[in-house]
Structure 1
Amino acid sequence: MFSFAHIAYLLLLLLLIPAAILFVFNKRWKKKTKKKIGDEQLVDLLTANHSKKKFSVKFYFILGAMALTALGAANLRTAGKAELVNRKGRDIVIAMDVSKSMLADDVKPTRLDKAKQFATKLLDQLPDDRIGLIWFAGKAYLPMPLTADQGAAKLFIQSAAPDAVPTQGTVVGEALRLAVESFPQDSKRYKIIVLITDGEDHDDAAERMAKELKDRGILLLTIGLGSLEGSAIPDPETKNYKKDKFGQTVITKLNEPLLKQLAAVSGGLYGNLENTDDMLKDVIATINQVEKKAVEGEVSPTNYNNYFMWFLLGALLLLIAELFISERNKPATVVAKKKG
């Protein structure tokens, strides 16, 4: 049975409507302009080398390419042979702070780079677990829901940057809430959240969410980045350090008391990411204490036959063909029109 993987992209087909309307208005405008000039036969003679038919064909080719592109983006697919897997593991959501304070270099090379290194190494130690990713600053976003695709997770981790979340701040509470919502409610797996942040400028909901995690049986591991002395925040655009409204250089410090409190309230673990390998050992040891539960009857995520490439190939061929269609009439056709 056919279905679309990303049905929302079918809305792009609505763009065909204004394109068609524009084409119709263009034809009407040409007719009105021709009548305004007065001598229609003279206009026909002057434009005899222009083919209206070929102009229409070129438009239809472009319109067809637009339609095929939209269908390709929606990804028409059919269900392939379903494979049942017996996978053991846990659901782990890594919530990473990507606010501008994470660009501070009191942790080399920067706090954010250190967080990426740690998260990537952590994935290597969790081959049987599903991983989800959350980026947060002044808002929290879910760039990648829970998946067993380690390669995709690593690519997302490397792409983490402050511009991924335009709103600045550190909404730890919202990040934890989004992590909770990203866990399947009917899953029997154990649930773990790895929070990586400097904890600065946090929201008041953080401690309340930590308590809720404990009530829900979700393990929270808080990983701190930064120094207690603090560091200036480099601005990638100006190449200078960030300043406040009074012109003073902003110093960002690790909010260690908050992260320790969150770990204590939730019954989890806190650690400072001074040494990646040492922190990794502590985190893995804690995670491995969580019993692994088998999930029977899980369907393989690769059991679809995708056809998006054929639509995109068709769109490409139409665009190439459109380039080779000239709007000019052949000389013989022009001469025939002149004689008429």
Structure 2
Amino acid sequence: MAAERAQIAGLVRSIYPGEDIAKIDHASMDVGVLSNVMQIDVHRESGVTALIAKFPRPEFPMMRPMFAVEAAFYTKTDQSRVPFRLATVLSASADAIVLAKLDNVKSYTCYDGCPAERVPAITRKLAQMHAVHWDLAFPELAEVPGIGANLSVDDKQTKFKSLFEPFLADLGLDKATQAAVEDMCKWLSIGKRLTRLHDTVESWHKSLIHGDFHVANMLFQGDSIFVLDWATCGASNPLRDLAFFFTVSVTADVRAAEEARSLRAYADILAAAVPDVSVAEVESMYFHCVLNQFVILVGYNALTMSLAGLGATPAKQAQLRDGFLETNRRSCMAAVHAFTKVKDELEEQQ
């Protein structure tokens, strides 16, 4: 604890050099799994300033490169081109990200899901972000952007067929959905279909993607949408963001109600901005990315479920496990729908 206090004090004094800081209070926030997130209250002459700081957990050294990516996003990219609002950054490095705390904001958990009325604005702004960064490179950001995107084509092709049944075992799907998912997984496991799916997604156009684009990484202040946690951003297939959002952020009912029209609005914006991309091509790529996201979740399921054990209390561990299982259920339903859209294309490529 003494080392933690010293680290926080040093960080605060680097943000406010030369100021007379009367007191620094800090408290852990019950958010995140792989990072320590804290609220820091700095007692300055002008009053108390609230900061939100996150630090990589020392037992997860792989987090430091992700913090370095987020720091590079905040310090080395043109944030004026991002149509979402960004929190004020006070310090950014591989050791810590410190933001000014936002007041009067609304947030939503992934488990509860993004309200349907929020979805159109989110997806429109996402399309605008992808359009203005179309086919640009970002060598300073993640080399392989996106949660789970580093699952190799070989792992998908060789391991998926032995992993999908354990993945489905704990989900409690109704019989019809269970049968549809099993049939889909068996079909995907034939020949090189998973390789073709992977290659289709990876070979498409690139843009700046957030990489972990879900509603719990957003704060809402009136009509403004603040997007946080840019630790997995970089240049990749932009439809990965939209697929991730609809897989992770919304309930099955909201996806069914909002997916088609939000996808069409997204595709219209992108096609209008990028002459060589059609609405039909964008929509097809979206469904490929939804299916690919399902394959990633299957591939990393054992690792993901193990993270539930990192919860600080048994109740938190149960909450994390329930959240991961709910994401898997949503992914099953989204993937079955996407499969009906792209099955013929994957079959024709043989």
TM-score scaled by length of structure 2: 0.24
When you count helix as a share of all residues, which structure comes out higher?
2
TM-score scaled by length of structure 1: 0.24
Q: Does 1 or 2 have the higher relative contact order (CA < 8 Å, sep 6+)?
A: 1
User: Which structure has the larger Rg over C-alpha atoms?
Assistant: 1
When you count strand as a share of all residues, which structure comes out higher?
1
